């Protein structure tokens, strides 16, 4: 997991450098084009100054009509004061043939102010005297070039997001198929020896007429194995959800845990507090399985010490059912609150670390609920909260 995080950080860093490179390259080209545009204007103004000094005139119309007609970027020629507009060309929204009106004049003044924020105006001189200014803006090519990297990056980010969503969907589907396949295969592998054990138990009852208590206990264990096999076979099934009474489910889980826990820790107490009679829709066998996993996990957190496990079931606004499983065990570091539900996570020496992961799938994928660590403190215990939809 640490290697995966490092790879993600490395990819993010490389992507960041790539974005910076694209932006730097595009902005460099923009500055180069602006500099070239200014050089062109400086050339024309110097040409105008020489002609004006030789012919002894300061006709801006000549400058505009004869010299600046081939310029492709927007320009506005003003006098020494910006409000003294003499001519304009290629100004967006104001055609070159538009007659001067107060509205057009105001729009041109606003455009001059905008141009001067980006580029410095080029002065028009006559015999060392500044007689006016040429204000210029970005050409359509520069404007497109300014936006191009953002459009490219936006498209790249969109493609990355789509690819990530598709990848996550495929990954999730593959995980689901693996889980379902393993569960079905486990149920299939358990089926044959369980059927054989049931046959041998029936033969033993017929052969040995005594020891009924032993045979009854063996029969209970075999039926327990058969129930586990059935639970595995129901993983991935969608058509077996019915209206379930939570009080009955909790009573059944309580009876099972009370028979099992004294063998592990006689100082441990398990209490159930069911404060609602509302029902849910789901698969009873899977819900019992998930609750048993949560309680077993709480019991393991306490270990051989004296402690207590409490299960609280209550209604939330008539729409949700809250189930809290609390223990007085060793607690969970906050950094592990989410990782405990990952496959393979375990603090025990034995086991595969699949219990809580399977429980999460049971409640979130098959019953559309939520399960998470509600609170936990090291040395004091943990509360895991389960939220299910209320049916009636």
Q: What is the pLDDT of residue 124?
A: 76
Copy the structure tokens of residue 39: 């050089």
Nearest alpha-carbon partner for 328 in 387, 265, 256, 372: 265
Say what percent of the chain tops pLDDT 90.
Answer: 8
pLDDT band at 311 (very low <50, low <70, confident <90, very high): very high
Tokens of 89: 């060309």
Distance between CA atoms of residues 259 and 274, nearest Å: 20
d(CA 178, CA 81): 77
Domain assignments of the chain as residue spans, ordered by start: 19-138, 144-214, 240-389
CATH of 240-389, one of 3.10.129.10, 3.30.565.10, 3.40.50.970, 3.90.1150.10: 3.30.565.10
Is the dihedral angle over the CA atoms 7, 8, 11, 16 positive or is it negative? negative
Ranges assigned E (strand) in the chain: 75-78, 85-89, 122-126, 129-136, 242-245, 268-274, 279-282, 307-316, 320-327, 370-377, 381-389
- Sign of the alpha-carbon dihedral angle for 196, 202, 203, 205: positive
Looking at per-residue pLDDT, the higher value among 377 and 129 belongs to: 377
State pLDDT tens for residues 83-95. 778 778 888 888 8
Q: Which of 236, 217, 228 is closest to 194 using CA atoms?
A: 228
Residues 6+ apart with CB under 8 A from 120: 38
Q: What is the per-residue pLDDT for 172?
A: 73
Per-residue pLDDT reduced to its tens digit, 202-229: 777 777 777 777 877 788 787 777 777 7
Least confident of 57-61, 134-138, 321-325: 57-61
* Cα distances (angstroms) measured from residue 80 to each of 67, 90, 93, 119, 390: 20, 21, 25, 17, 78
**Element (DSSP H or E) covering residue 186:** helix 140-207
pLDDT of residue 370: 92
| DSSP 8-state code for residue 336 | G
Between 171 and 348, residue with greater pLDDT: 171
Phi, psi at 206, each rounded to 5°? -70, -35
pLDDT in tens, 282-294: 888 888 888 988 9
The pLDDT of residue 239: 56
Residues 132-168 pLDDT 10s:
888 888 777 777 777 777 777 787 788 888 888 888 8
Structure tokens at 334: 């906050």
Provide the pLDDT confidence category of residue 71 given band limits of 50, 70 and 90: confident
Beta bridge partners of 389: 320
Q: Which of 24-33, 112-121, 255-264 has the lowest mean pLDDT?
A: 255-264
Please give the backbone phi and psi of residue 345, each rounded to the nearest 5 degrees, phi first.
Answer: -75, 125
| pLDDT above 90 (res 386) | yes
């Amino acid at each position: 997991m640490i290697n995966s995080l490092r790879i993600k950080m490395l990819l993010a860093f490389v992507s960041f450098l790539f974005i910076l490179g694209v932006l730097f390259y595009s902005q460099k080209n923009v500055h180069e084009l602006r500099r070239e545009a200014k050089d062109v204007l400086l050339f024309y103004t110097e040409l105008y100054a020489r002609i004006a000094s030789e012919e002894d005139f300061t006709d801006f119309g000549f400058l505009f009509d004869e010299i600046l007609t081939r310029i492709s970027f927007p320009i506005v020629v003003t006098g020494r004061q910006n409000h003294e507009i003499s001519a304009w060309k290629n100004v967006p929204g104001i055609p070159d043939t538009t007659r001067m009106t107060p509205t057009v004049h105001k729009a041109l003044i606003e455009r001059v102010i905008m141009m001067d924020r980006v580029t410095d105006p080029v002065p028009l001189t006559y015999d060392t005297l500044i007689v006016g200014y040429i204000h210029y803006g970005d050409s359509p090519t520069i404007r497109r070039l300014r936006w191009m990297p953002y459009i490219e990056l936006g498209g790249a980010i969109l493609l990355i997001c789509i690819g990530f969503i598709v990848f996550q969907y495929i990954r999730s589907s593959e995980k689901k198929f693996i889980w379902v396949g393993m569960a079905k295969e486990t149920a299939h592998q358990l089926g044959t020896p369980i059927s054989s054990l049931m046959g041998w138990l029936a033969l033993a009852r017929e052969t040995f007429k005594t020891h009924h208590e032993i045979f009854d206990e063996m029969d209970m264990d075999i039926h327990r194995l058969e129930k586990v096999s059935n639970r595995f076979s129901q993983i991935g099934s969608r058509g077996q959800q019915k209206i379930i009474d939570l009080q009955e489910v909790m009573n059944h889980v309580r009876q099972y845990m009370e028979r099992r826990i004294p063998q592990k820790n006689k100082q441990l107490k398990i209490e159930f507090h069911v404060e609602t009679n509302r029902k849910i829709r789901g698969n009873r066998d899977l819900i019992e399985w998930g609750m048993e996993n949560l309680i077993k996990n709480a019991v393991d957190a306490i270990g051989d010490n004296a402690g207590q496990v409490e299960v609280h079931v209550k209604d939330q606004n008539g729409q949700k059912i809250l189930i809290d499983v609390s223990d007085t065990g060793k607690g969970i570091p906050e950094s592990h609150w989410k990782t405990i539900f990952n496959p393979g996570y375990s603090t025990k020496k034995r086991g595969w670390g699949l219990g809580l992961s399977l429980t999460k799938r049971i409640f979130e994928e098959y019953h559309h609920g939520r399960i998470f660590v509600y609170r936990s403190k090291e040395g004091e215990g943990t509360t895991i909260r389960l939220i299910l939809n209320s049916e009636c």
